[in-house]
């Protein structure tokens, strides 16, 4: 069990910082424009890289002529795959060939191109303008072949193959659960609903695009790779393998980062190229992705299709679930997660917050000639939650019941609960969050408002979404997926100096989540010091022994637990030295919560940390004989079993406008439970930011391609990112079910908003359109679809998409 450190009971265990919205320690530099983002760094002599990219979605690469590039003024060098000779990127699952087909992703395209935007060659020049001039001069010969751009064409018999080894363009095909007798359950059920849900391809869209800056350091005999990544250690591992060098010879650091949202939790080919080119030229080389590249060639997400059948009895109890999931992963598996991340997540967690007694699932990852995907905030959960929530709504409609009653009948209420999906859910507030969300809207009069609006001919609707999100993914949970690179644990080291300040490391990575503040709150409470005395170090493979970075809402649950455990261990050491100095036993002393150790029986006898640290470093002759000089402690943490689950209910009121098709959000209420809240303002911010991205997926954003695989949303003119006028004010109410096994009782709060919003909004739109008979099961909901629905004179019986 993950309790690596237990310390003496102490005043310092009391929460003085945790639970308080203290001012963010990140803010002073960021609001002053003194953040240090990647492109803010210009080392002397830096060269700038730009990529020659395929303009063809699918074809044979028959020749690259870079001589014209080299003649462009300012260009220093240009390389293609043959010039650099790097090992391919291959991400693996430990699954048999019928379940998983690995793809070799060359760092630069070699022999074939598989999507528009695939990097073919790199140009290095004295400034970014010259590098782009160079790119335009490249001559790339590609024999175009038919592109595979949709699920339908990818799976059609005789379809062209994106990868020769992947029959039927299928990279992953798993059938993890099939309850015996499930067909009989369907045959005997009072009600069977079928829902066909689709979600559009989306871009996680960090406002700071990707980028990398590499330079060789003779003194360290090491390449310094500064990069916008959520996973610095994994970048180092893969870069070393691709460059065929020892991992020690690469140091990866991460500056301030303008968001990631998952797009930066996989290793990018460009990061490897920049490292290789800097080594080759022995000059600093920087690449900053431009927005067009980001929209067309960075990792995308979300395009999934669920065909869900669910059996219910007459009172609305769900009896069985049978689902076929197809995830369009684009051209390659990402490293380290592979194309399995989405279908495996969907398979394991599809039943969501409901008691589903019988379950069958087939989930596939297919490959197409589109930019590859990465695990964007939420990872399949927005999709399977949408499928489940549409199922609940559909069943309610067919059974003539209130959709909230159907949910209540099926919500998990007894914890821990082990589902038919072999997942154990720890305690949460599934029922309570729904009750509070509903009563909030009811007391504010929204149900009445909706009905009165309908009487006036206005299309107002109310939608709900109930969901949980696994946040404490430990090694066990990831290992269940049979990944060969298994994330999960985190290690933290803490060191106190003679002034009583501490530096604490975490393998997680802050790119907007406020770790500098929240981790300091945890440490300060454990030791009983001021947060100003705590400095967090992240994002440096030389300073942090190993880490898994930040994704899957793991930072506070797993990383924060390691930080807490290391702090506790340091507290034990402080007490031990202090006891020796007082000539008492360790049981006689405790941390006093104010930066010192006191004698329990006589609080007047106290030794401040500064004095203990003085002994530990400057007068080590006074230390106990069995205590080594210095003041540091290390602890690791790994969430056990299936980890922990945050949960929430989202409730939203929309009005659909005839004529424009605009879906206006009138009210958005979120009731969430992420266990112990470390910093309320930060949690609210995570919820609201996530909800904004979820609304974006529900109503606005979609990466589209034409029939030839040409991306048709290559700028912010075409890719519709919601602004302040599209995102409403959002109330966030907190329930608090402390997690029993994280060190700090926290669960995680990073992804919930993104998970809940699409289904809640879609359900609200459908409620607003109920008088038309049209039901929408696809996102984004296009204004045209709304207009067409509202123009219907007679209610339709069929489902529109």
Partner 1 sequence: MHDRHLITLTVNDEEHEVVVEARRTLLDVLRHDLRLTGAHAGCEHGVCGACTVLVDGAPARACLLFAVQAEGSALHTVESLAAPSGELSDLQQAFSRHHGLQCGFCTPGFLMLAEGWLAERAATGAGEPDREEVREVASANLCRCTGYQTIVDAIADTARTRLAAPGETA
Residues binding partner 1 (CB under 8 A): 21, 23-24, 26-28, 30-37, 39-40, 42, 73, 128-129, 133, 205-209, 256-259, 261, 288, 290-291, 511-514, 681-682, 684-685, 688-693, 715-717, 721, 723-727, 729-730, 753
Pairing of strands 75-80, 304-312: unpaired
Torsion of CA 636, 642, 643, 646, to 10 degrees: 170
What is the distance between the alpha carbons of residues 387 and 696, in angstroms, rounded to a whole number?
Answer: 18
529 Ramachandran zone, left/alpha/beta (phi>0; psi -120 to 50): beta
Residues 6+ positions from 724 with CB-CB distance below 8 Å: none
Contact (CB, 8 A) for 58 and 708:
no
Residues 6+ positions from 524 with CB-CB distance below 8 Å: 16, 17, 530, 531, 533, 534
What is the distance between the alpha carbons of residues 289 and 295, in angstroms, rounded to a whole number?
Answer: 10
Backbone angles phi, psi at 627, to 5 degrees: -110, 130
Query: CA distances (Å), 65 to each of 70, 91, 140, in order?
Result: 10, 30, 6
47 DSSP 8-state letter: E
Give the 3-state secondary structure of residue 213. Answer: strand
Residue number, 114 or 201, with CB nearest to partner 1:
201
Tell me how far, at minimum, the Cβ of 204 lies from partner 1, in Å: 9
Tell me how far, at minimum, the Cβ of 37 lies from partner 1, in Å: 6
Query: CA distances (Å), 253 to each of 89, 184, 275, 280, in order?
Result: 21, 57, 13, 20
Residue number, 640 or 722, with CB nearest to partner 1:
722
Residue number, 720 or 770, with CB nearest to partner 1:
720
Query: CA distances (Å), 763 to each of 21, 404, 429, 436, 583, in order?
Result: 33, 12, 21, 18, 68
Contact (CB, 8 A) for 721 and 696:
yes
Give the 3-state secondary structure of residue 678. Answer: coil
Residue number, 512 or 596, with CB nearest to partner 1:
512
Residue number, 199 or 693, with CB nearest to partner 1:
693
Residue number, 336 or 694, with CB nearest to partner 1:
694
Residue number, 517 or 644, with CB nearest to partner 1:
517
Tell me how far, at minimum, the Cβ of 24 lies from partner 1, in Å: 6
357 DSSP 8-state letter: S
Tell me how far, at minimum, the Cβ of 682 lies from partner 1, in Å: 7
Residue number, 416 or 722, with CB nearest to partner 1:
722
Residue number, 41 or 87, with CB nearest to partner 1:
41
Tell me how far, at minimum, the Cβ of 261 lies from partner 1, in Å: 7
Residue 252, strand partner residues: 225
Residue number, 536 or 691, with CB nearest to partner 1:
691
Residue number, 518 or 737, with CB nearest to partner 1:
518
C-alpha 694 chain-centroid distance: 13
Tell me how far, at minimum, the Cβ of 205 lies from partner 1, in Å: 6
Tell me how far, at minimum, the Cβ of 715 lies from partner 1, in Å: 6
Residue number, 34 or 442, with CB nearest to partner 1:
34
Residues 6+ positions from 29 with CB-CB distance below 8 Å: 35, 36
Tell me how far, at minimum, the Cβ of 21 lies from partner 1, in Å: 8
Length of the chain: 801
Tell me how far, at minimum, the Cβ of 35 lies from partner 1, in Å: 5
Tell me how far, at minimum, the Cβ of 667 lies from partner 1, in Å: 13
C-alpha 720 chain-centroid distance: 21
Tell me how far, at minimum, the Cβ of 148 lies from partner 1, in Å: 30
Beta carbons within 10 angstroms of residue 400's beta carbon = 7
Tell me how far, at minimum, the Cβ of 692 lies from partner 1, in Å: 4
């Amino acid at each position: 069990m993950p309790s690596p450190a237990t310390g003496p009971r102490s005043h310092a265990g009391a929460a003085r910082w945790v639970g308080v919205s203290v001012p963010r320690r990140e803010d002073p530099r960021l609001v002053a424009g003194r953040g240090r983002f990647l492109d803010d760094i210009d080392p002397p002599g830096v060269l700038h890289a730009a990529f020659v990219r395929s303009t063809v979605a699918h074809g044979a690469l028959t020749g690259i002529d870079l001589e014209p590039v080299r003649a462009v003024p300012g260009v220093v060098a240009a390389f293609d795959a043959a010039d650099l000779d790097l090992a391919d990127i291959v991400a693996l699952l430990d699954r048999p060939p019928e379940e998983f087909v690995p793809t070799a992703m060359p760092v630069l395209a070699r022999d074939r191109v598989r999507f528009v935007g695939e990097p073919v060659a790199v140009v290095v020049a004295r400034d970014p303008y010259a590098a782009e001039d160079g790119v335009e001069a490249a001559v790339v010969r590609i024999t175009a072949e038919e592109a595979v751009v949709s699920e339908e064409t990818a799976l059609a018999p005789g379809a062209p193959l994106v990868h020769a080894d992947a029959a039927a363009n299928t990279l992953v095909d798993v059938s993890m659960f099939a309850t015996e007798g499930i067909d009989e359950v369907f045959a005997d059920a009072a009600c069977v609903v079928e829902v066909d849900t689709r979600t559009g391809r989306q871009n996680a869209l960090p406002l700071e695009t990707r980028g990398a800056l590499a330079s060789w350091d003779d003194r360290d005999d090491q390449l310094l790779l500064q990069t916008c990544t959520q996973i610095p250690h994994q970048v180092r591992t893969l870069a070393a393998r691709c460059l065929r060098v020892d991992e020690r010879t690469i140091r990866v650091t991460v500056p301030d980062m303008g968001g990631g949202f998952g797009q930066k939790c996989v290793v990018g080919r460009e990061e490897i190229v920049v490292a290789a080119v800097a080594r080759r030229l022995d000059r600093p080389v920087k690449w900053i992705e431009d927005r067009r590249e980001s929209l067309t060639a960075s990792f995308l997400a979300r395009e999934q299709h669920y065909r869900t059948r669910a059996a219910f009895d007459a009172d609305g109890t769900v009896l069985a679930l049978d689902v076929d999931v197809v995830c369009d992963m684009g051209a390659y598996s990402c490293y380290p997660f592979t194309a399995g991340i989405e279908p495996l997540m969907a398979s394991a967690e599809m039943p969501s917050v409901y008691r589903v007694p019988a379950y069958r699932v087939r989930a596939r990852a297919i490959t197409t000639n589109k930019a590859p995907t990465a695990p964007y905030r939420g990872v399949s959960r927005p999709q399977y939650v949408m499928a489940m929530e549409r199922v609940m709504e559909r069943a309610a409609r067919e059974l003539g019941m209130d959709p909230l009653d159907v949910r209540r009948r099926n919500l998990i209420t007894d914890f821990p609960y082990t589902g038919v999906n072999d997942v154990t859910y720890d305690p949460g507030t599934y029922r309570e969050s729904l009750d509070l969300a509903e009563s909030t809207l009811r007391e504010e009069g929204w149900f009445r408002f909706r009905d009165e609006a309908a009487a006036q001919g206005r299309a107002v609707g109310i939608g709900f979404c109930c969901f949980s999100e696994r946040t404490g993914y430990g090694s066990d949970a990831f290992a269940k997926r049979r990944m060969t690179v298994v994330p999960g644990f985190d290690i933290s080291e803490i060191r106190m100096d003679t002034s009583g300040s501490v530096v604490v490391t975490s393998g997680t990575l802050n790119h907007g989540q406020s770790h500098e503040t929240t981790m300091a709150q945890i440490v300060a409470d454990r030791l009983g010091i001021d947060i100003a005395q705590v400095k967090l170090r992240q994002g440096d493979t030389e300073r942090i022994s190993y880490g898994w970075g930040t994704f899957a809402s793991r930072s506070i649950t797993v990383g924060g637990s390691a930080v807490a455990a290391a702090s506790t261990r340091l507290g034990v050491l402080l007490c031990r030295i202090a006891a020796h100095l007082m000539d008492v036993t360790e049981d006689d002393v405790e941390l006093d919560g104010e930066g010192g150790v006191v004698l329990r029986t006589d609080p007047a006898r106290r030794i401040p940390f500064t004095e203990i640290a003085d002994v530990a470093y400057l007068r080590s002759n006074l230390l106990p004989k069995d205590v080594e000089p210095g003041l540091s402690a290390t602890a690791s943490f790994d969430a056990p079993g299936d980890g922990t689950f945050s949960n929430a209910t989202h409730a939203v009121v929309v009005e659909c406008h005839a004529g424009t098709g605009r879906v206006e959000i009138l009210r958005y209420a979120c009731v969430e439970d992420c266990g112990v809240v470390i910093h309320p303002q930060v949690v609210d911010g995570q919820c609201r930011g996530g909800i904004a991205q979820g609304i974006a997926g529900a109503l606005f954003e979609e990466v589209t391609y034409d029939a030839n695989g040409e991306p048709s949303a290559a700028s912010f003119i075409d890719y519709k990112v919601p602004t302040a006028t599209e995102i409403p004010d959002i109330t966030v109410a907190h329930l608090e079910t402390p997690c029993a096994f994280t060190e700090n009782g926290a669960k995680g709060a990073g992804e919930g908003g993104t998970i809940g919003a699409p289904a809640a909004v879609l359900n609200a739109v459908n409620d607003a359109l109920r008088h038309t008979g049209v039901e929408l099961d696809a996102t984004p909901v296009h204004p045209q679809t709304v207009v067409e629905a509202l123009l219907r004179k007679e209610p339709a019986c069929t489902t529109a998409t």
